[in-house]
A and B are shown apart, each in its own frame.
Chain A
């Protein structure tokens, strides 16, 4: 009988092939993940500072939501965003316009041996924010009084309606351990001294944020045993990763949104997280070429916003009529102007501006450049020649800043997008008189606007606030310095095995992601 005896070369070749096969086998990763529910999402920016007092925002807030307690969280059960008590809170009520009473649940502890989560931690966390980079959200708060270990009262200087959703429910409202933070020197950057949340956090720089179960957590257990927020900065790479099954959820661009609407990948759904952004064409009211309000109003009539929405955004965004975003008090449903090139031409002619040449600056991003080209074509029709200048972030963000030199004097037209929070005051603050030369690049001011801004902050009646913010937007429109374009949503694609949850600003809330 012949017994097969492989040579040394044949044996090594066979072993190499077997090893290569095991590497290439798609089953390998499934076997490794077996036994636990792992959620993989895309993270588009690495963390820099996790301390709410000095954070940059974005990905940091997602970490904070997963590992730190908040007094208030977002409730979407009524089809709109409302505040609800946080998981660690037994009760929180607005006793009167300037007092909010809270009572914490017992049994929640900080990690690293820093003891119980107490009302003193709330006092410490909120009061330190009054002198932080985000102090604007706490300016209306006077102090926090502590009654006992788990009870306290937040005292406001005056009624401040946004305090619930914009301050307490957001990243700036995350509570820190007083003892742990003080032991760390009163501040921190990438390592939180102690956490109290359903997950523990591990940062792998330039790779991923890893969340694993916190064994000391006394609250409800999240559906996922592990969350990996993989750092993928390029949108296209993220979508390819999703299509290859390597992430369960990723944000997508408007172009991809339109593509997926026509042909969705298998087992996938689109989720619109929020449209708390507002995009507009701004004009420098002090520039010699734009000082005449007839020229500015001509531009308002000349720009075909519907074409921009179709051409630059493939029809996937909501048209905007002001800076207040959908779902908020004060959301506007129309403007006084409408697309009317004939009227625009007439105004240009009356102003003696036929043949006027202007520069339109924008960030060098696909949708913005497309929008700029459409504006260019629209204004050409009415006799205004526009040169489009796409810019990198650096020079663009300096355009209207007086502290950066005299370039603001030459700025004429620009396309700008700001993000907002779930309260209209957040959008309005950038257009105040004090912001001229900082973020009010249009350089206008109005006494009635200033007065309404202050009053609306303190007004708690929704209808009255609504009328105030509508009037403020009307004042803005009457300056002629704005052509409102759209509210860019944050859109995600996810596989059908998960149900995502996000904040109104589209930050993912990992503990609240559910298995479908």
Chain B
């Protein structure tokens, strides 16, 4: 098990390096320098040259890449081109907002999606199952940014139940929760569908197993059979999906962050791409990629821990 964990960690590091290398290549293909974009006509050749030097853009790309990697290995992600603030600090300020949004968004999707999937599996082809199936596919098909806009128009503009923009007053937990409701709803709605469909399919497969039949024949209550015997096995692929989903949301929540004007890593990366602020883009993507890899690794380890069959195969 430890060897498996070490092997996966090594693989994770390689994945992060490859992702950053790809990002480097793509970034330097994008035309435009930050100072011309930021200042327009006030960007004199001298100012442009100064910022070009700052970003090492005159160095070969390979040199830039290795300088970045070497610094990143020591925790130095560089400085913002304009504000000269640490990139690690800038990303660190935004990351908690995205993490909270991802946790709450995915959290409510898990709390609703898994029970829905279970109920659908226990009563296959019933009216409830059919309705759940249609709604699941519907919520998966609708893009999250559309859900964000609709939710905003209905609940914030028309009904005025919830706020439109922002993350709430700093230090005021209730206000921050108030501001989190709509974005978390928008981000999580599609995942309700995914999880419900996946759990339903897994449960249907597991419910046909011999040991479930045996448990029923022993007279165990239906609730015990479903939750203690069937769901425990059926949930395993869902754990992997939740890990992937959480990683996706770290940057994928950008739509919700832009529409609701919330701070977050996705919006930070988007803003920095538009302004060609390469150091911040590189640092932010490195951190989100590392998070993604760690979370999926954690999900895989959790599956390995929960499933004795996987544990045995690793020994």
Binding site for B on A (CB under 8 A): 22-24, 26, 28-29, 32, 46-49, 56-57, 133-134, 189-190, 204-208, 230-234, 237-238, 240-241, 243-247, 392-398, 401, 403-404, 418-419, 430, 438-439
Contacts and interface: CB of A to CB of B under 8 A. Distances in A.
A233 B156 CA distance: 18
Contacts of A56: 38-39, 82
B249 interface: no
Contact of A205 (B41, B93, B163, B172): B93
Q: Most A CB atoms within 10 A — which of B42, B94, B175? A: B42
A26 B172 contact: no
A204 B31 CA distance: 31
A205 B164 contact: no
Given A189-B85, A439-B41, A230 B32 contact: no
Size class of B's contact patch? 35 or more
B41 A243 contact: no
Given A22-B174, A49-B82, A237-B258, A394 B157 contact: no
Contacts of A29: 163, 175
6 contacts: A26-B160, A46-B271, A48-B83, A190-B83, A234-B259, A394-B276
A24 B39 contact: no
B165 A243 contact: no
A23 B93 contact: no
Contacts of A394: 30-33, 37, 276
B139 interface: no
A232 B41 CA distance: 25
Contacts of A398: 31-33, 36
B90 interface: yes
A231 B41 contact: no
A26 B178 CA distance: 10
B47 interface: yes
A74 to B, nearest CB: 21
Nearest to B178: A23
B157 A243 contact: yes
A24 B174 CA distance: 10
B271 A233 contact: yes
Nearest to B30: A394
Contacts of B271: 46, 233
Contacts of B209: none
B32 A244 contact: no
Interface string B141-175: 00000000000110011001111111101101011
Contact of B84 (A189, A395, A403): A189
Interface string B37-55: 1111110110110000000
A431 to B, nearest CB: 10
B275 to A, nearest CB: 8
Contacts of B38: 48, 56
A32 B31 contact: no
Contacts of A23: 174, 177-178, 181
A24 B177 CA distance: 10
B15 interface: no
Given A48-B38, A398-B36, A438-B44, 10 more contacts: A28-B178, A56-B38, A190-B85, A204-B170, A207-B263, A240-B164, A241-B164, A401-B36, A403-B45, A403-B48
A7 B164 CA distance: 38
B267 interface: yes
B103 interface: no
Contacts, number: 130
A24 B161 contact: yes
Residue of B40, B175, B260, B274 most packed against chain A (CB within 10 A): B40
Nearest to A243: B157
A41 to B, nearest CB: 12
A185 B260 CA distance: 38
A397 B164 contact: no
B244 interface: no
Interface in B253-309: 258-261, 263-264, 267-268, 271, 274, 276
B315 to A, nearest CB: 44
Which of A190, A393, A398 has most chain B Cβ within 10 Å? A393
A234 B274 CA distance: 13
B199 to A, nearest CB: 25
Given A32-B175, A395-B32, A237 B165 contact: yes
Contacts of B276: 394
A418 B84 contact: no
Nearest to B263: A206
A32 B83 contact: no
A243 B152 CA distance: 12
Nearest to A189: B83
A153 B210 CA distance: 96
Contact of A32 (B32, B48, B172, B264): B172
Given A23-B174, A246-B164, A395 B93 contact: no
A204 B157 CA distance: 26
A397 to B, nearest CB: 4
Contact of B45 (A234, A241, A438): A438
Given A240-B156, A395-B32, A206 B93 contact: yes
Given A232-B261, A394-B276, A32 B169 contact: yes
The listed residue with most A CB atoms (<10 A of its CB), out of B33, B80, B83, is B83
Given A237-B258, A240-B157, A393-B32, A205 B174 contact: no
A232 to B, nearest CB: 4
A57 B39 contact: yes
A217 B304 CA distance: 64
Nearest to A202: B170
B37 A237 contact: no
B273 to A, nearest CB: 10
Nearest to A22: B174
A394 B274 CA distance: 8
A237 B166 CA distance: 11
A418 B85 contact: no
Top 6 closest A-B pairs, CB basis?
A394-B32, A48-B82, A206-B263, A397-B36, A395-B31, A232-B261
Contact of A24 (B30, B47, B162, B267): B162
Contacts of A240: 152-153, 156-157, 164-165
A360 to B, nearest CB: 19
B159 to A, nearest CB: 10
Contacts of A396: 32
A230 B165 contact: yes
Interface in B44-68: 44-45, 47-48
Contacts of A241: 164-165, 261
B167 A207 contact: yes
A43 B258 CA distance: 14
A430 B172 contact: no
B160 A244 contact: yes
A234 B93 contact: no
A515 to B, nearest CB: 22
A189 B258 contact: no
A74 B203 CA distance: 71
A451 to B, nearest CB: 22
A397 B84 contact: no
A26 B175 CA distance: 11
Most buried by A among B38, B152, B160, B172: B38
Contact of B165 (A22, A24, A246, A401): A246
Contacts of B153: 240
A7 B76 CA distance: 57
Contact of A206 (B37, B39, B94, B165): B94
A326 to B, nearest CB: 20
